[in-house]
Structure 1
Amino acid sequence: MDLDKYKKAWDNQPEETNKVSKVDIYKMAHSKSSSIVKWIFIIGILELAFWAGINIFFVGESYTEVYKQLHLNSIVKISVYIHYFVIAIFLYFFYQNYKSISVSDSTKTLIHKILKTRKTVKYYVYFNLAYMVLANVFVMCLIFSDLDLLIEYYHNQGISTPDNKDQLLTSLIIAMVVLLSFMVLILWLFYKVIYGILLRKLNSNYKELAKLEELN
């Protein structure tokens, strides 16, 4: 039974029973909120492990060779480490949010913690999307700043390039914008589905607790 149905049943009960049912409603909201925050933490860990695994086992070695030849290996590594470090900080916040939810919390306190968790998740999503765009644009700008080195790399790989550098640069920029837009869209849809579901449930709990608080 969800909180709305539970609350309707509670409203139709005698006044002396309401006091007991009100506690039950709070316990249900508390349990669901704690479970949601726990899942946010778990999914964050799985996401970090997934991207780290993709980077190490699938694209890491091939891309490292490319960046070495373009003299960008150190910069790219630093960028990746910074990304992982900030994600680890967010995971710490997710864990702290989960651990901070206590059975002794008042309704106001639990509402505050729900709002805090919701805000942390939104910042996490915004950071990942912004970092993907900024980091890739930064690396591409460095690559485009030395087209001669890039052309040499292409020729070494047996890839033909336009004789006109402006034409090459335009083609690369268009390709970068299309690819980056696709990557951001995929990541945004992932966050929209996974974290969106959890945030909607958390927000539903927040509304129920807010109604409960108004009745005090």
Structure 2
Amino acid sequence: MTEELDLLKKAWKKDPHVYEQVTENQIYQMIHKRSSSIVKWILMISIAEFVLWSAIGLFFVDENYLKTLEMYHIDTLFKVISVLNYAVVIFFIFMFYKNFKTISTTDTVKKLMNSIIKTRKTVQYYIWYNLGMFAFIFIIVVISQIIYDPNINSLIESTKDVNPQVFWIIIGLTYFVLFALTFGLFWLFYRLIYGFLMKRLHKNFEELKKIDF
């Protein structure tokens, strides 16, 4: 479809008086179809992501996991976070579906451009929410682990002779590296998958700006 669009644009430039009206409509239809396809992929990927993380959550939620949450005194908090997270993600999926339906039925350049802007913002909010939720959960778990985990307490007891500042610097750096690696993987995933689709939507938006209806 990209090659066809480039050919139409070249033909338009060669003889604008002959091709102007036909080419404008054809270019718009191609961009419209391509944008609808991209938003459909965003919707499908978000659903697949939701199913994947739900399946992983069910797989890891066993008796030991629940006991660990109780030991950290965050079992109730995690239940609230889990319900809230499911609700927010489902809301975003609904918004992706709504954006897809809107773009699919759009019939003017201006409406399509507005729909693309709205879709890009929704995806950005979705990515920020997921990364923010990950960071929040990580911080909660780390604080609870340091306070309540008997292994951490034993480690603290066994290193009494070590300079406390040095000890906590090492602990802090260890958690920071762990956070940076896991956060970086999540960021890379969203950057590669959603970032690629967002760039294609932005390209469509720039093409629409060149059409003077």
Q: Secondary structure of 1:105's partner?
A: coil
2:76 alignment partner, one of 67, 74, 78 = 74
Cα deviation code 1:70-128 (max 9, x no counterpart)? 33222122222222221111111111100112445210110010011011111111111
**Residues 80 and 169 of structure 1, relative CA distance in 2, 3 Å threshold:** farther
Cα deviation code 1:30-76 (max 9, x no counterpart)? 0000010011011001111111111111x222422211233322212
Residue 205 of structure 2 is aligned to residue 211 of structure 1: no
Query: Aligned equivalents of 1:68 and 1:94: distance in 2?
Result: 36
RMSD of the alignment, in Å?
A: 2.3
Within a 5 Å distance, the mapping from 1:1-216 to structure 2 comes to: 1-2=1-2, 3-13=5-15, 15-57=17-59, 59-61=60-62, 62-144=64-146, 146=147, 149-151=148-150, 154=151, 161-163=155-157, 164=159, 172-212=171-211, 215-216=212-213
Query: Aligned equivalents of 1:162 and 1:14: distance in 2?
Result: 77
Query: Aligned equivalents of 1:53 and 1:123: distance in 2?
Result: 24
4+ long deviations beyond 6 Å: none
Residue type at the aligned position of 2:189? F
**Residues 37 and 123 of structure 1, relative CA distance in 2, 3 Å threshold:** same
Shift of 1:135: 2.2
Query: Aligned equivalents of 2:144 and 2:88: distance in 1?
Result: 23
Query: Aligned equivalents of 1:134 and 1:60: distance in 2?
Result: 19
Query: Aligned equivalents of 1:66 and 1:170: distance in 2?
Result: 25
What TM-score, normalized by structure 1, do the two folds share?
0.85
Q: Secondary structure of 2:210's partner?
A: helix
Residues 76 and 139 of structure 1 are in contact (CA less than 8 Å); yes or no, is this contact kept in structure 2? no
Residues 34 and 101 of structure 1 are in contact (CA less than 8 Å); yes or no, is this contact kept in structure 2? yes
Alignment length (residue pairs): 205
Query: Aligned equivalents of 2:83 and 2:181: distance in 1?
Result: 23
What TM-score, normalized by structure 2, do the two folds share?
0.86
Query: Aligned equivalents of 1:76 and 1:175: distance in 2?
Result: 24
Residues 31 and 204 of structure 2 are in contact (CA less than 8 Å); yes or no, is this contact kept in structure 1? yes
Residues 109 and 208 of structure 2 are in contact (CA less than 8 Å); yes or no, is this contact kept in structure 1? yes
Q: Which blocks of at least 5 consecutive residues in structure 1 are unaligned?
A: none
